[in-house]
Structure 1
Amino acid sequence: MQRVTVTLDDDLMAELDRVMAERGYQNRSEAIRDLARAGLKQARVEAGDMTHCVGVLSYTYDHKARDLARRLTNTFHDHHDISVASMHVHLDQDRCLEVSILKGSAEEVRHFAEHVTAERNVTHGELAIIPSS
């Protein structure tokens, strides 16, 4: 492990201390390491510099919409190579939530998630990408 000296302005230091208190960090080093990892992960995602990843796709949809459940199921079956697992939750009389774990190249995972969330009557969708290497 290496020691690094960093100078931060007072406002940024106050924000870091606030985040540390909210999340229960024991010291600034732990907080800065986690923030650095998150920033580096985000930079890799934005740069397209990630070959393999795990994705968590969450989305809501109207389960009464004509053929939507069938289309979604077919989409997952057609991409069984990247679809690892899914969880289905009934939110209310009309809406369902699905959370799916995906694994593959970042490009394939992103493309698949965009295809699912673009389906008509899929109301909200979000993909979280986590590097697997």
Structure 2
Amino acid sequence: MRIGVSLPDNLLSRFDEIIGSWGYSSRSEAIRDAIRNYIQYYDWMNEVEGERIGVISIVYDQDKKGLLDSLMQIQNEYCKLMLSAFHVYLDRESCMEIMTFKGNGKDIKGAAEKMMALKGVKHVKLTTIALDTIT
């Protein structure tokens, strides 16, 4: 099946650099691989359950209108689970935030998914550890 995708120049250029260095024969093959990895990550995230310690790291465009308010609303919604937050200015427009959580894995995953869906968020990574593996 064929699809059409619109991408910003800088994203496509970076993607082309990577697929060239990894030896892909075409963009299509690299995109198929990227989609497979995305599906695997989605499946892994859906297995997050039980009491967990979690880390959500996000990189976002601090100038995107309304984004900071939306991120603050999500953090307030999950404040009973949040242990800490660390904010770093990466450059003039990009910020990174690293948040730690303790609680039900599905709730922590819910916070990550809400952040992931916001326009202006460039990257979200969720890592969790089951509490029973560290005690």
Question: 2:104 maps to what in 1?
Answer: 105
Output the TM-score relative to the length of structure 2.
Answer: 0.61
Equivalent residue number for residue 95 of structure 1: 94
- Mapped to 2, the partners of 1:47 and 1:71 lie a distance apart of 24
Structural mapping, 1:122-133, within 5 Å: 122-133=121-132
Report the identity percentage: 25
Question: Which contiguous aligned blocks of 4+ residues in structure 1 show a shift greater than 6 angstroms?
Answer: none
Give the TM-score, by structure 1 length.
Answer: 0.62
Per the TM alignment, residue 82 of structure 1 is displaced from its structure 2 partner at its CA by 1.3
Structure 1 unmatched runs, 5+: 1-44
Structure index of larger Rg: 1
Greater shift after overlay, 48-57 or 71-80?
48-57
Once structures 1 and 2 are overlaid, which stretch shifts more, 92-101 or 107-116? 107-116
Q: How many residues align?
A: 89
Q: Which runs of 5+ in 2 are unaligned?
A: 1-43
Query: Post-superposition shift, 1:48?
Result: 3.2
- Report the secondary structure of 2:114's partner residue: helix
Q: What value does the CA root-mean-square deviation take over the aligned residues? A: 1.7
Q: Give the partner amino acid of 2:124.
A: G
Counterparts in 2 of 1:66 and 1:84: CA distance versus 1, 3 Å: same
Alignment partner of 1:114: what SS? helix
SS at match of 1:93: coil
Amino acid at match of 1:79: Y
Q: Classify 1:124/1:75 alpha carbon distance in 2 versus 1 (closer, same or farther; 3 Å).
A: same
| Correspondence 1:1-133 to 2 at 5 A | 48=47, 50-133=49-132
Alpha-carbon shift at residue 78 of structure 1 (Å): 1.6
Report the alpha carbon displacement of residue 63 of structure 1 after superposing the two structures with TM.
0.2
Deviation (angstroms), 1:83: 1.4
